[in-house]
Each structure stands twice: as C-alpha cells, then as structure tokens.
Amino acid sequence: MTELKNHSCFVDSNIWLYAFSTDKREESKRILAKQLIKEKSIIISTQIINEVSCNLLKKHKLDEKQLFKLIVSFYSKYQVISFNLDIFESAYNLRTQYHLSFWDSLVIACASFSDANIGT
C-alpha cells in the first residue's frame, strides 16, 4: 500500500464491504480495507455507492437512517463519479473488446476516467 500513498485510489465495493464487515473471519481484510480507505484520496462511483448500500441493507441489516448518513458521508468525504455518455461509451468498448459484464465494464470505465489507482 505504501507505493500508492500519494495517489488517488478508485475503491470498488468489495473494499467497502470488508471495511464494514463484522465477521471475525474477515478481520484481516477489514483492517486492510480500513487502512486503504483512511490513507488515500478516495474516488468512487455512484454504482459503488449503490452496490454497497444494497449489500448493507440486505446482508448487514443497516437501517435506512444509517444508510442515508453513510451515503451523505460518501459524497462529503470522497470524489464521486456519476455516469455520463463518455463513461457508457467506454464501458461499451470494454465489453465488446474484453467480454466483461455490464456492471464490471462500468466500474472500470469510471475508474479509468478518474485516472486513479484501482482497489478491488
């Protein structure tokens, strides 16, 4: 992680979910995820916020009020990339060239537009 210390990092939903995990079996992953989030200039996309929110509601039973506070904190603390036509075009090109899923291609397209390192 130290080699990325001075760079922005696009953080995928898995990192966030490990950071919020209370599962003792994932303790080492939780610690690493929290370190990454704490030390970096973080960039996320609206898709990442949606994926994390959905998982926290379903699997972690987060209530709506807590979830809304989390979403507000994402927007206040981090750079959030919203979809636009350029991102959809880039995602389309990634899907046709590399046979990626729709959602994975959008994550990669957003990350590439952010010019950040990618944490997954």
Q: How crowded is residue 6: how many other Cβ atoms within 10 Å of its Cβ?
A: 8
Residues 6+ apart with CB under 8 A from 19: 30, 33, 34, 37
Q: Identify residue 45 by its one-letter amino acid code.
A: S
Q: State percent of the chain over pLDDT 70.
A: 92
- State residue 115 phi and psi, 5-degree precision: 55, 40
Q: List domains and CATH numbers for the chain.
A: 9-118 (3.40.50.1010)
Higher-scoring residue by pLDDT: 2, 75: 75
Q: What is the pLDDT of residue 2?
A: 38
- State residue 8 phi and psi, 5-degree precision: -75, 155
- Give which of 119, 113, 97 is closest to 42, Cα–Cα: 119
* pTM: predicted TM-score of the whole model, two decimal places: 0.87
Q: Give per-residue pLDDT as tens, 88-108.
A: 999 999 999 999 999 999 999
Q: For the chain, what is the mean pLDDT?
A: 92
